Amino acid sequence: MANNDELANAAAQGNIGKMQQLLKNGTDPNGVNRFGRTPIQVMKMGCPAVCQLLLDYGANPNRQDDQQIALIHDLAREGHLDTLEVLVKHGTANTNLRDKNNHLPIDLAKKNNHLEVVNYLAKLNPAS
């Protein structure tokens, strides 16, 4: 659990060096911290390199919290297109994942007026 907390904290702070060290030493990229959250769920948003590193080590980008919110929902809601592109290009993120309120990531981007994110997601899912 200690390493899981350390990795989650490093991800939240965007401390790539610490993350690399922990991941190279075998810390589980999907291990939960003392709050029940994985590093990708608490990672510093707007930091594509953190996202890429976690994905490279096998982090699950579709893990949802108790509100059924996954990283893709947070990125779309907050307008972090650069990190969203990394997530999508990796090939494992579900862009049609719904949260507890039945919202898709594109819905959250629309609601918060992040037009670049809306346009990007619309190209991926033309029916949205």
Cα gap 93→113, rounded to integer Å:
22
Question: Does the pTM exceed 0.85?
Answer: yes
Residue 97 in this model has a pLDDT that exceeds 60? yes
Residue 81 in this model has a pLDDT that exceeds 80? yes
Torsion of CA 125, 89, 20, 24, to 10 degrees: 100
Select the highest-mean-pLDDT range: 42-46, 57-61, 124-128.
Answer: 57-61
Mean pLDDT over all residues of the chain?
A: 94
* Half-sphere CA count of 68, side-chain side, radius 13 A: 11
Please give the domain boundaries of the chain with CATH numbers for all domains: 1-60 (1.25.40.20), 61-128 (1.25.40.20)
The answer to whether the Cα torsion of 95, 12, 1, 20 is positive or negative is: positive
pLDDT in tens, 13-54: 999 999 999 999 999 999 999 999 999 999 998 899 999 999
Cα angle value 74/5/89 (rounded, 5°): 40
In the chain, the amino acid numbered 62 is N
pLDDT of residue 128: 53
In percent, the amount of the chain with pLDDT more than 90 equals 87
